[in-house]
Structure 1
């Protein structure tokens, strides 16, 4: 079972990720079904255009964002080992701000750049060979069928195997007191192992719903917690 299958209820129509960016005013809500569709599109892109397969190391240089969740879930669906350091990685996915860093690592399978634009606009003027995620991902299907099952022993996160990442996520969910009834307001970044574990993996493992806020306006968080009916705050 891939880590994506362990973490994501692909049949759920209830809100799974509600994303805010207080710097831009963006708000987007994704159900489990919609999140799964984006993860599938990403997995198809990574496998069919970038040659990602079980054991491929994929560096993710992205902020806590709904598209980052799709990237992570798509990479794990392919069986990739997601890493934080681009040096030595086979493929790098990054935002515009970290494009130079990604290119300097010279990953053999290339670089995929994300604009993270609210309306799906791509990035103009990318260097030759860099894949524009926003342009390419929409061309891929909403279903993904792996060519082979991902074993529990396959590396999934900085070399840690699928079963240990899955079990750790469930343990953190229990330690945080999360359940499927919870709606979690979080400002945690996912760039550190602890932030990713608590801010995304534990929430998904619990079957809870995530309200992720980027560039948080602290004065607005209390109102948002009330309007979104959140039950737990992280960060």
Structure 2
């Protein structure tokens, strides 16, 4: 008889849970152009670890470090968000963003330029690095295509290309400072690290242990919250991009076929 998983209190516990069954899909991503990416427990675990190592070795990420995440709802946003929390850092999200690219400088609109939003952060993780030119914080450029080996575009001076850099780090965490449960894990919202899992599970609907859940979220914060909620009960997520979600809203038969092929429970 299989042992019941131990309660999940933090991302480290989440990682131990997902590698109990390392070959099982945990995150399945459908992109705008039919791209499908499947991360098993072992692969997701390795991606998180590599990203943690980059954050720690390049930016001394630890409790108190502020990591601004400027990525659209995407499987890479899941990896970077979980990795930042694994280091004990504070994940800072842009205000009122449905997806990357919503907050822009508009003349006379009273909207601050993006570099101004990074005045109090230690690193910016973004899929649009050119928009952050001029910021004092170091910039990490994240390519979104599944097979991208490097960022395809102009990089600000000193920016790190995550497409190539992440893969140079080890699959196991070399060292990470102990997480402070009282430290802030998420802004805005001031959610502490000790409250992360509780925050995720307060979404209002119950997820059965082991469930496979379809996730159609228009913001990275909601994607992270929903994913953590599902993974914390030993489940898995099938994530659709916002553009694909819009398409499938108009094509219920295609959506039904996807749900059947992916064995979606919820």
Please indicate the TM-score interval, normalised by the length of the shorter structure.
0.7 to 0.9
Count of matched residue positions in the alignment of Structure 1 and Structure 2: 223
Please tell me whether the aligned partners of residues 2 and 151 of structure 1 are also in contact (alpha carbons under 8 angstroms): no
- Aligned partner of 1:230 in structure 2 is 264
Matched residue of 1:16: which SS?
A: strand
Shift of 1:32: 1.4
1:113 aligned to 108, 129, 141, which one?
141
Q: Which of the pair has more CA radius of gyration?
A: 2
2:196 aligned to 136, 148, 165, which one?
165
- Alignment partners' CA distance in 2, 1:10 and 1:178: 16
Q: Does 1:187 align with 2:216?
A: yes
- Aligned partner of 2:33 in structure 1 is 24
- Alignment partners' CA distance in 2, 1:145 and 1:32: 20
- Aligned partner of 1:5 in structure 2 is 12
- Aligned partner of 2:50 in structure 1 is 41
Written as runs of structure 1 = structure 2, the 5 A alignment for 1:55-204 is: 55-85=64-94, 86-87=117-118, 88-96=120-128, 99-107=129-137, 110-123=138-151, 124-158=153-187, 159-172=190-203, 175-191=204-220, 193-197=221-225, 199-204=226-231
Q: Deviations over 1:178-199 (max 9, x none)?
A: 02231111111333x44542x3
Matched residue of 1:138: which SS?
A: helix
Matched residue of 2:69: which SS?
A: strand
Please tell me whether the aligned partners of residues 189 and 196 of structure 1 are also in contact (alpha carbons under 8 angstroms): no
- Alignment partners' CA distance in 1, 2:49 and 2:80: 9
Please tell me whether the aligned partners of residues 56 and 176 of structure 2 are also in contact (alpha carbons under 8 angstroms): no
RMSD: 2.0
Q: Name segments (4+ residues, structure 1) moved above 4 Å.
A: none
Matched residue of 2:177: which SS?
A: coil
1:51 aligned to 54, 60, 69, which one?
60
- Alignment partners' CA distance in 2, 1:48 and 1:104: 23
Please tell me whether the aligned partners of residues 62 and 177 of structure 2 are also in contact (alpha carbons under 8 angstroms): no
Unmatched tracts of structure 1, length 5 or more: none
Please tell me whether the aligned partners of residues 71 and 77 of structure 2 are also in contact (alpha carbons under 8 angstroms): yes
Q: Deviations over 1:177-231 (max 9, x none)?
A: 102231111111333x44542x322122222110001121312322100110101
Please tell me whether the aligned partners of residues 130 and 154 of structure 2 are also in contact (alpha carbons under 8 angstroms): no
Matched residue of 2:140: which SS?
A: strand
